[in-house]
Chains A and B, each alone.
Chain A
Amino acid sequence: MAEPASMIDKLWFLIPEIVLFGGVVVVSVMGLARRRIVRDAVPLVVCVFLVAAMAVIPFLYGHDRVFDELGRSRAGLLMPLLGRYVKLVVCAVGILLAMMSVWLTDRKLEAAVASGRARFDPIRVSRGEYFAFFLLSLIGVMLVCNANDLIWLFLALELTSLPTYIMVAISRPSAKALEAAVKYFFLGALSAGMFLYGFALLYGASGTIVLTEMRDVFAEQAAAGGLNSIALIGMLISLLGVSFKIVAVPMHFYAADVYEGAAAPVTAFLAFVPKTAGILAIMLLVSTVGYGGRTAAGIEGLPQPIMVALWMICVLTMTLGNVGALLQRSAKRLLAYSSIAHSGYLLIGIIAGPALGFDAVLFYLLAYGVMNTAAFAVLAGLQRRGEEIESLDDLAGLRARHPAMAVVMALAALSLVGFPPLLGFWGKLSVFIAGVEAGRIALVVIALINSAISAYYYLWLVGLPILAMPNAQSQTVVKSKVVWPRVAAVLAAVAVVVLPFFAQRLLSGSQGVGTPPAQQPLADSQRARADSQ
């Protein structure tokens, strides 16, 4: 057994998180500043810190830093390279999300202060807090990449989720948002309790909380005749708990209500950030019990009960998500159900396992983050009677008055349905190829059928803005006062069109980062091959 990783080795990979934490400290105080210009600079400062964190990341993951002489992870991580890709993606999408959130809170108060009708009162503003929580949640996702034991994993997952409860509540001044926040909070607490219980059982079954050691213990158990049943139960309960984070069946019920209640920028945040954290957590957890050839004992794939459970979760998630979306008349609820469905597609990659499946999942997360942000940014960038637009009717005939937003919505929807040659297609294709390679033909066929079903409701999002005639309701849709959500929408749409040209680079960026170190020599040779081509 390797000696415990030193603190310095672990801290080295936390530099981006530390940078962002500096951002949290600065932003929370800046939001209360006396001078208006300082308060207005908060989103800008958030973006600056995100860019700084992005700039640092490529220098952290040098080969000698990550691995010691024997090819083991210095920080004692199960997937030492995971952060190299995920942290960049999270920061990049984070910048888009931060742009969407400019002026999400405090606009009325600031307007009143500017016109002299009110005095600035620090207790009544929440902009600094909003962006501080925003960054804290991103830090949570990034910490999941560095989790080397169950306690760290739990804390990182909770750090991802806790700020989002508050963000939902303060996202807009309505009872709906509060209701959504309370629902979200209680169900989130339930799920946290569930996976904590699962973690406890995993500890009971393996006698360790360190993921790498757990993997070895489970490999020994498997070699000795089968996994401990307590381990299996613990794993299943943990998976169910984490399903909440990725809005997978059976923990998906809250999605539509919460997504509808929160303001669009927060909804986009919910659909990407906790989902990423949950997917990473599932990757880490299932890697401790399975995937053939990756463990000393060579268990083929995943243990049967885990595989069956994931398979069912995956199929139900895709199907319920897509069928549920067919019934919606609200664009936000529709996108909420589509978010559920996309979790199902992501699970295919997890079932397929490393290396291809995990690579595909990570790439898909990037694609989903970008195209989903584009769709929500359109909703955030337009408003009707002072409220952001919500229903599909508001989108009708958008082209006549807001052509750019109509095009962005159409592109985002086509990409979400997985239409070539947009970004979503390459994400789906790589996930499907990985599923096929793992022999999960039935799963891929179900996913393809689901894609066909989803085409129907995504076509509304394409057709309504571009083709339909404006109705009385959509005539009154105007641009929101702030330009930034629309800028984010256009940027994301450009990314949806342009990124496929860099698909090779993006995919090779994700290559091997989800592979546990026991497998690392192989991953290295793969990378060498990819580089030489």
Chain B
Amino acid sequence: MLVIAVNLSTYIPVGLLVVMALIFAGANLLMTHVLGPRRKGPAKDIPYESGMNPIGTARKRFNVRFYILAMTFLVFDVEIIFLYPWAVTFAKLQPASPEAALFLGRVMFFLATSVVAYIYAWRKGVFRWD
């Protein structure tokens, strides 16, 4: 009773893409293997080939404040992305019309929630660096 009712021809572009991706990746690997020069030596086995010897461990812990700050940045960054299409649309509206007032009200509500987020972060001490 399982019947495949999807027209498979619609998937041809996808299939082509997959095939091309495979060919490209495979060809690259093959060509570097065939064409590339090969040298061996102790310097080839260290992580960096820049001539510098690595210092300390790679698993170093960063201060957690970096993360918190980064997250705060993300929050406000995303907010700007939301504001951008709003601004573009708002410019096209008739000035001082009820529709424009509604649009303004909506974005004000949105900004108000971000202000709350800002107050929260501030109170939590995110911006304090001592």
Which residues of A line the B interface, CB within 8 A? 25, 28-29, 32, 121-123, 204-205, 221, 224-230, 232, 304
Contacts and interface: CB of A to CB of B under 8 A. Distances in A.
- The 9 A-B residue pairs with the shortest CB-CB distance, nearest first, are A229-B2, A32-B123, A226-B3, A226-B1, A25-B116, A123-B125, A122-B124, A228-B5, A225-B3
B91 interface: no
Given A122-B125, A226-B1, A304-B1, A32 B6 contact: no
B4 interface: yes
Contact of A29 (B2, B3, B116): B116
Contacts of A224: 3, 5
B47 to A, nearest CB: 29
Nearest to A25: B116
Given A28-B120, A226-B3, 11 more contacts: A28-B116, A29-B119, A121-B125, A122-B124, A221-B5, A224-B5, A226-B1, A226-B5, A227-B3, A230-B6, A304-B1
19 contacts: A28-B116, A29-B120, A32-B123, A32-B124, A121-B125, A122-B125, A123-B125, A224-B3, A226-B1, A226-B3, A226-B5, A227-B2, A227-B3, A228-B4, A228-B5, A229-B2, A229-B3, A230-B6, A232-B2
A225 B3 CA distance: 7
B28 interface: no
B120 A32 contact: yes
Contacts of B119: 29
Contacts of B1: 226, 304
Nearest to B119: A29
Contacts of A205: 6
Contacts, number: 41
A233 to B, nearest CB: 9
B4 A29 contact: no
Contacts of B113: 25
A228 B123 contact: no
A228 B3 CA distance: 6
A121 B123 CA distance: 10
A227 B1 CA distance: 8
A226 B5 CA distance: 9
A255 to B, nearest CB: 31
Nearest to B4: A229
Interface string B46-81: 000000000000000000000000000000000000
Nearest to A221: B5
Interface in B1-40: 1-6
Nearest to A205: B6
A29 B123 contact: yes
Interface in B96-126: 113, 116, 119-120, 123-125
Nearest to A230: B6
A252 B123 CA distance: 40
A28 B125 CA distance: 14
Nearest to A132: B120
A205 B6 CA distance: 7
A389 B120 CA distance: 35
A448 B130 CA distance: 64
Nearest to A26: B116
B71 to A, nearest CB: 14
B120 A228 contact: no
Contacts of A230: 4, 6
Contacts of B5: 221, 224-226, 228
B2 A226 contact: yes
B6 A228 contact: yes
Contact of B124 (A25, A123, A304): A123
B111 to A, nearest CB: 13
Contacts of A28: 116, 120
Contacts of B2: 226-227, 229, 232
A49 to B, nearest CB: 15
Contacts of A226: 1-3, 5
A229 B4 CA distance: 6
Nearest to B10: A207
B123 A122 contact: yes
B69 to A, nearest CB: 14
Best-buried of B1, B4, B113 by chain A (most CB within 10 Å): B1
Contacts of B3: 224-229
B53 to A, nearest CB: 36
A159 to B, nearest CB: 15
A304 B2 CA distance: 10
Contacts of A227: 2-3
A28 B114 CA distance: 13
Interface string B87-100: 00000000000000
